[in-house]
Amino acid sequence: MGRFALIWLTARRMLLREQVGSAAPNTRSWASTLLRICVAITALACTIVWFHLGLGVGADRMVAIPLLGGGAALVALALFCVRILTPVVAVAVFGMALGCAALMTVFAVTSGFEYELTRRLSSLNGHVLVTKYGLGFTEYEDMIRDIESRPGVVAAVPFAYAMASLVPVTEDTEGQADDSSSEQLSRRPAVIVGKGIDPERAAPVDGIRNVLASNSYRALRPADPQTQPGIALGTTLASRLGVEVGDQVRMVIPADLDGTAESANKPPRFAVFDVLDILDTGMGDLDRSLALVHLRSGQALFFGGRKRVTGIEVTLTDPNDAQAFVESYLPGLDRRLFHAITWEQQSASTLAGLRQIRLAVSVVLGLLELVAATALVASLLLLVRRKRVEIAGMMALGADGRLVFWIFEAVGLVAGVAGAVVGLCLGGLYVALVAGFRFPLQDDVYPIEHLPVQLGWLDAIGPAVAAIVLCALVSGPVALVAAKIPVLEGLRGR
């Protein structure tokens, strides 16, 4: 225990500044004032960013505020390290903290992208998708009853897909709602993906309901003799068409072509829908092209009234059980006719791309920690050179080479721990700034409207542990150099 205390006290003395009060009063006052200013700027920036939505200020006009707060935090960190630590060690601790913070922020953002994409895709399309090869999926009712009887299943929702053209019905053509003239069909059309679902079977599923502005399925109204069927449009799609809730749109489905001359002369199918709700999925591709209708309306328009579906979306209690469900359910299906795929398989290419980007950026930013470790080596070598007399004196008083080795190894370890702890604090600040500010992204480039953040414990602990291990590894050779200093030459100051 006494040996450990000696190692700690000696390492602590080498790390901390000697005679902090010996600096000039003006210098101390200037540094303290600057430190307080930087802390105040950081706190103010965090407060403004966190409540910027309440201020009613657009995010694009406030981009300088989180940048200013982050820069002030860096300056405050540098001043704090210089005031507490010896200058040579302060550089290494600052670099290690910056590397940890950068890696932590990158991990949080990439994990946020992965989480948001998978969550939104799985919530809109279910966790397991069951489809049938060909166009005759008519036995879906019996299959739904079988699926819903299995444990862990929240809902099994039949759906119908079709590519369609959508055009608004304006007042001057309201009387021509049943006219399929080319003039009306060519009026500001948009190619969309029409999806019909059954609101009653989808009632236990919150994914679709949460992206509807009304937070309910009442917009998915089937047609009856008194009213038109209802439709919900993506936000960007509604803006492009220039329609709002209460307006009408016409959906046109191309004629079915079977290779015969008669099919080529068939007119397209169309129907007029009342716009009753707006979809805001947060994914640019879906908001630009998705239109939701009732399943019966979709079957009537997409399939000419035939009672069939495109597939069944299965929502599970635990999304991680999707693969296990497929493996247990597939043996009971005819593999020649049916196919089941999980939400992870549907987004496999997107997840692979995100993980490759995460790896590449991590390698690049990890060089910050490597540079900081190099600075630590230089700092320790300088300490060894400056403390040759003290080291030789300790050896003359009975300290062995192992004690000297562990003293300098402890210096590297403590520097690594200090850099990791400060880096965790700085990284947490950056993550909070990004999460509170919600940096806007271009919806025509990214599938998400803002920069997402999802910080897991491994994203925070990983860079910190890497910093400590790296400092411990690079300190070893320098500690060996210190342990082998000859006593006589050291006492002579050579």
Mean pLDDT of the chain: 76
pLDDT band at 112 (very low <50, low <70, confident <90, very high): confident
pLDDT at 244: 87
Distances (CA, A) of 347 to 259, 314, 434, 474: 35, 16, 25, 41
CA distance 280 to 264: 37
Residue 65: what residue type? I
pLDDT at 490: 56
The DSSP call for residue 23 is: S
Distances (CA, A) of 14 to 11, 96, 395: 5, 18, 17
Query: Quick one: which of 81, 84, 107 has its CA closest to 92?
Result: 81
List Cβ<8 Å contacts ≥24 apart for 53-61.
59/437, 59/438, 59/439, 59/440, 59/450, 60/440
Place of tokens 């400056």: 386
Q: Is the pTM of this model over 0.85?
A: no
Selection from 84-88, 124-128, 421-425 with the highest mean pLDDT: 421-425
pLDDT at 489: 63
Q: Is the pLDDT of residue 406 over 50?
A: yes
Distances (CA, A) of 217 to 207, 210, 279: 11, 10, 11
Tokens of 190: 């948009």
More confident residue, 80 or 182: 80
pLDDT at 262: 59
pLDDT at 67: 65
More confident residue, 80 or 212: 212
CA distance 371 to 474: 11
pLDDT band at 33 (very low <50, low <70, confident <90, very high): low
pLDDT at 210: 77
SS3 257: coil
pLDDT band at 412 (very low <50, low <70, confident <90, very high): confident
Domain borders along the chain are: 2-18+25-119+364-491, 138-309
pLDDT band at 94 (very low <50, low <70, confident <90, very high): confident
Identify the weakest region by mean pLDDT among 107-121, 234-248, 259-273, 473-487. Answer: 259-273
pLDDT at 434: 79
CA distance 382 to 441: 47
Average pLDDT for 96-107: 86
pLDDT at 305: 75
Percentage helix, strand, coil for the chain under 3-state DSSP, each rounded to 5: 60, 15, 25
pLDDT at 21: 45
Q: Over the stretch 321-364, which tens digit does the pLDDT of each residue have?
A: 888 888 887 777 777 788 888 887 877 777 777 778 878 887 88
pLDDT at 38: 66
pLDDT at 258: 46
Q: Is the pLDDT of residue 225 over 60?
A: yes
Average pLDDT for 430-457: 74
Where does 214-352 show beta strands of DSSP type E?
Answer: 230-234, 248-253, 269-279, 290-294, 311-316, 338-342
pLDDT at 171: 60
